[in-house]
Amino acid sequence: MSGRLSKRRLCVAMSSATVWALVLNLSCRSKPNDPEPTPETPATSDEPSSAVEETALRVFGKVPEFELTDSYGESVDRRDFLGNVSVVNFFFTKCTATCPEQTRRLHQLQSKLKDHPQWRDIKLWSITVDPAHDTPETLREYAEQAGADSEHWQFLTGPREQLWELSGEGFKLAVGEAPPEAEMPLFHSSQFVLVDFYGRIRGYYDGLTDAGISKLEDGIEAVLAERLPFPDDVVEPAWMKPRRQEQLATVDQFDVFVGFTFEDRVDASGISFRNKIVDDAGKLWKEAHYDHGNGIAIADVDGDGLIDLYFITQAGPNELWRNRGDGTFEDITESAGVALEDRISVTASFADIDNDSDADLYVTTVRHGNVLFENNGQGEFTDVTERSGLGYVGHSSSSVFFDYDRDGLLDLFLTNVGKYTSDEIGIVTMEPVRGERDDVEYEFYRALPDGFAGHLKPEERNERSLLYRNEGDGVFADVTEETGLVDVCWSGDATPLDANADGWPDLYVLNMQGHDEYYENQEGRSFVRRSREVFPDTPWGSMGVKVFDYDNDGLLDVYITDMHSDMSERIGPEREKEKAVMRWPATMVQTGPHNPQPGRTSIWGNALFHKRASDEFAEVSDAMGAENYWPWGLSVGDLNADGYDDVFISSSMCAPFRYGVNTVLLNNRGEKLLDSEFILGVEPRRGGRTAAPWFELDCSAGADGDHPLCEERQGKFVVWSAMGTKASVIFDIEGDGDLDVVTNEVNGFPQVLVSNLSETRPELRYLKIGLVGTQSNRDGLGAIVKVTAGSNTYTKAYDGLTGYLSHGLYPLYFGLGDADVVDAIEVQWPSGGVQTVEGPVETNQLLEIEEAEQALGS
C-alpha cells in the first residue's frame, strides 16, 4: 500500500485537526512568498531523458556520507550540506591548470550571490584532491587569497583516499594521477556540482565558461525556489534576533555564574544518528500522539566507566553509541543487537534488572511489542522479552524502573498512552525523500483521525498503564490489579516521589490530557490514589517531570512541563512566559473521574510544586519563572556547578507550528529560574537555524496533489518545518568536570551541546557520586543523596529520570560552588538504610559509595 491518504480521507483527517487547519488556512491566505513552480524532474531510470529540456533539474543521486576537515580544522560532514544549497568543486592549491580559473569564477559567483535574499542558505565548497600539500593551514591561506567569505565558502581536506572516493564515487567526478606527459601530476574534474537542500546532486555545470556559470545560476535559483516554509516565517522568524538581544541584556540580573557557553559539536562527536518520524507525525500530520516523538537513554553499557547513548527513533534502527571518553562516540548498535529496526519505537530505559552490575535495556514501541534486553556486561544484549513477560503490545511510552516493594529488585511501571491508532498499516515515506534509505519500508499503524480526542471516549480508547513486580530470575509479574495501581490516564511518563517521606516510593503519573495522578505506596503492598489531596491542581497536558530540590532546602520539589495547554491557542513569542489561555471547551478539558471539583480548572502550563512539608506542596511556577513555550520534558543538572540545579527544557513542536526555543533556566540561587538559552549559546542553534527540510511535496495529480499544502500550488517543493527537540539528557560527556547536553531531535540529527565551563571557570568544584547497592538494587535507583559542603547541603533523588521520556543510569553530579572539600555525604538507600560518609572528601572526583551492611535498619 502506498501509505498516502486519499483525498476523502485526508479531508476527514483535516476536519478534526483543527490546529493544522488553522495554521494551514492562514498560510494559504497569505502567500507572498509562494515559490515559482519548479521545473519538472525527468525520470532518470526508466526512460532516458534528453538535453532538449535545458531547464530541467535532475536528481543525480545523493551526496554520500563523508567526514572531512575545513580550513579551520573543524569537522565537516554530509549534514553540513543539508538545509543549504551548495556548489561543490574539486581542485588543489598547487594546480596551475584550470584551478585558478575555477577559483576566480567561484569568487565571482560569491560576489554576485552575496546580495541574494537567500544568501544565508547558499554555500560553496572547494575540496582539495591533494591533501599531502593542502593542509587546513594551506587552504586557509589560499581561501584568504581567493577572497573567500569563510561563512559561505569553505575549503575542505582530509585523507586522500576519502577525498578521491568522495570525488569519484560520491560525485562521480574522476580524479587520478596524470600520465607523465600531462600538464599536472593530478587530474580532476572542473565541473561545478549543484547540491540541493536535501543533499541531492541536482546538476553539473562547466565551471570554466560563462555559459556553464549562467546555467549554474539558473540551477541555484531553481533549487532555492523549491523551499516551501511552513508556516511562512519558520525559516527566519523575525522575533529571534530581538529575543536574543533582550535576553543578553538581562545578564546583570544573574547572581550566579553565566560566563560559559555551549557549542553543538555533533559533527566532532562522530554521532551520525538521525531521528526519523512516521508520516502521521510529518507529511500527513495528525493530532495524534505520534508527534510526541522519542526519548534518549543513557548508561555505561560496557563497564568502561563512560556514559553511552541510546537514541530512539520511530522509523529505522535505534542506535547505541559508545562513549570513547574524548568527546567522540562510536556506533555499536550492530554488535549490541539493539536496533529493533522493524518496530516503531517510542523510548527506552536502562536498568539493571538482575543486579549483575550491568545496564539492561527496555524499549517501548507503538503496537510492535515492547522488548527487554539483557546485557552481558560487554554491551552485547540478548532479547529476553518472552521469559520476562514484559512484551506488552500497545501504545506504550516511558518505562519507570523503581523498587516499590523494596526487595532489592527493580520493578517496572510501564506507562501506556491510550489507543490513538487504527488497524490500517501505513508505510513511512518521510525518509526516502532525503535519499537516505529507500531500500526498506517501515510499517506503522496509521493514527486515528481523532486520536487526540481519545480521552473523550474512555471506554473505547483508554489503555491502562501497568505495574510489574520483579520476581527475580528475569521474570516480571503484572501486579496492576493486585496493588490497586489501576491508572487509565493518557500517560507518557511517571516518576517515583516519596511525598510523605515514609521511605516507600510513591508514584506521580503524568496525564497529558487531564489531571495528573498521585499514588501513595502502602509499604510495598498496594497503592492508594491520593491525587487531589496532595496535588489539588495539576497541569492539563503534562509531558515531562523531574523531582529535584531547586532551592536547596532539603525537600524534593516537582517540576512538570505542560505541552498540550500550549496547543489550544496561538501563543506568540511575547507571551511565552505566561500560562496559556485555554481555548478548548470544558467538554474537552474537564474530563475524567479524578478531576477537580466543578469550578476549578487545571493549570494551563508548567507547574513547579515547591515542597513545604510532608504531602504539602505549593505551586510556584509563575513566581519562579518556570513557564515556557511548547515544552516536552526537562533535564536537570547543575550547569554552572554553583550548587543549584538548572533546567534544560526540550521544546518546539515542528510543523505545522512555529519554532520554539529550547529553554535553559539558570537557577538564580533558588530564588528565580532565569531564561538563559541565548546567553549560554544554546539558542540560536548552530548556523542560526530554526527550520529544516521536512518532506518533499509533489503537487502533481496522482502524487501529493491532494495534500492541503498543494492548494493553489504546482510543481515540487521541499516543505520546511520548525526544528524541535524532543528529549534531552545532561551528563559530562568527556569527563572534564562540567555538564554537557545531548538531544534527540524530531526528524533530525542530535545536538551535542558541549559546555566550556571547565575552561572558563578553572576553579570549578564538583563531586560525582556513583552508588553501588548491595541490599538495594545494584545501582541504588531510588536513593536520596545529601552532600554537605560547608554550610550548604545539596539533596538529590537518584530516580533515573534524565529527560523527556528518558530513563537511565548515571552518576549524580553535585556542583559545589566554591567549596574546596565535601564534609559529609548521606545516602538514604532504597532498601531503607541510611549511610553516612564522613569527610573530608576530595572534590572533582567520581566517588563510588557501596551500600554498607550496617546501613540496613539504621
Q: Which residues of this chain interact with another protein, rule CB under 8 A?
A: 44-45, 48-52, 58, 60-61, 91, 95, 97-99, 102, 168, 171-174, 178-179, 182-191, 204, 206, 208
Count CB atoms within 10 A of the CB of residue 365.
Answer: 24
H or E segment and range at residue 759: helix 757-760
Q: Provide the minimum distance between the beta carbon of 176 and another protein in the complex, in angstroms, as a whole number.
A: 8
CA 521, 525, 529, 533 torsion: positive or negative? Answer: negative
All cell numbers assigned to 693: 527540510
Which of residues 106 and 277 has its CB atom nearest to another protein in the complex?
106
Which of residues 187 and 254 has its CB atom nearest to another protein in the complex?
187
| C-alpha distances in Å from residue 575, one per residue of 16, 378, 831 | 27, 49, 46
Neighbour-count burial of 662, counting CB atoms closer than 10 A to its CB (0-12 exposed, 13-18 middle, 19+ buried): buried
Query: Locate cell 509562494: which residue?
Result: 34
Which of residues 91 and 402 has its CB atom nearest to another protein in the complex?
91
Which of residues 79 and 94 has its CB atom nearest to another protein in the complex?
94
Which of residues 146 and 692 has its CB atom nearest to another protein in the complex?
146
Q: Provide the minimum distance between the beta carbon of 184 and another protein in the complex, in angstroms, as a whole number.
A: 4
Q: Provide the minimum distance between the beta carbon of 55 and another protein in the complex, in angstroms, as a whole number.
A: 14
Q: φ, ψ for residue 91 (rounded to 5)?
A: -165, 180
Q: Which of 98, 162, 101, 163 is nearest to 129 (CA)?
A: 163
Q: Provide the minimum distance between the beta carbon of 169 and another protein in the complex, in angstroms, as a whole number.
A: 9
Which of residues 95 and 409 has its CB atom nearest to another protein in the complex?
95
Please write down the HEC assignment for all residues of 408-425.
CCCEEEEEECCCCEEEEE
H or E segment and range at residue 109: helix 99-113
Neighbour-count burial of 337, counting CB atoms closer than 10 A to its CB (0-12 exposed, 13-18 middle, 19+ buried): middle
Which of residues 198 and 519 has its CB atom nearest to another protein in the complex?
198
Neighbour-count burial of 52, counting CB atoms closer than 10 A to its CB (0-12 exposed, 13-18 middle, 19+ buried): exposed
Count CB atoms within 10 A of the CB of residue 701.
Answer: 10
For residues 600 and 595, what is the distance between their CA atoms, to the nearest angstrom? Answer: 9
Which of residues 49 and 836 has its CB atom nearest to another protein in the complex?
49
Which of residues 186 and 797 has its CB atom nearest to another protein in the complex?
186
Q: Provide the minimum distance between the beta carbon of 77 and another protein in the complex, in angstroms, as a whole number.
A: 23
Q: Provide the minimum distance between the beta carbon of 205 and another protein in the complex, in angstroms, as a whole number.
A: 10
Q: Which of 288, 502, 511, 296 is nearest to 415 (CA)?
A: 511
For residues 479 and 30, what is the distance between their CA atoms, to the nearest angstrom? Answer: 56
Q: What is the largest CA-CA distance in the chain?
A: 92
Which of residues 199 and 394 has its CB atom nearest to another protein in the complex?
199
Which of residues 47 and 460 has its CB atom nearest to another protein in the complex?
47
All cell numbers assigned to 202: 541536482
Q: Are 622 and 673 in contact (CB under 8 A)?
A: no
Q: Provide the minimum distance between the beta carbon of 48 and another protein in the complex, in angstroms, as a whole number.
A: 4
Q: Provide the minimum distance between the beta carbon of 219 and another protein in the complex, in angstroms, as a whole number.
A: 14
| C-alpha distances in Å from residue 350, one per residue of 126, 301, 359, 814 | 44, 9, 6, 22
Q: Provide the minimum distance between the beta carbon of 138 and another protein in the complex, in angstroms, as a whole number.
A: 18
Q: Provide the minimum distance between the beta carbon of 514 and another protein in the complex, in angstroms, as a whole number.
A: 54
Q: Provide the minimum distance between the beta carbon of 229 and another protein in the complex, in angstroms, as a whole number.
A: 31
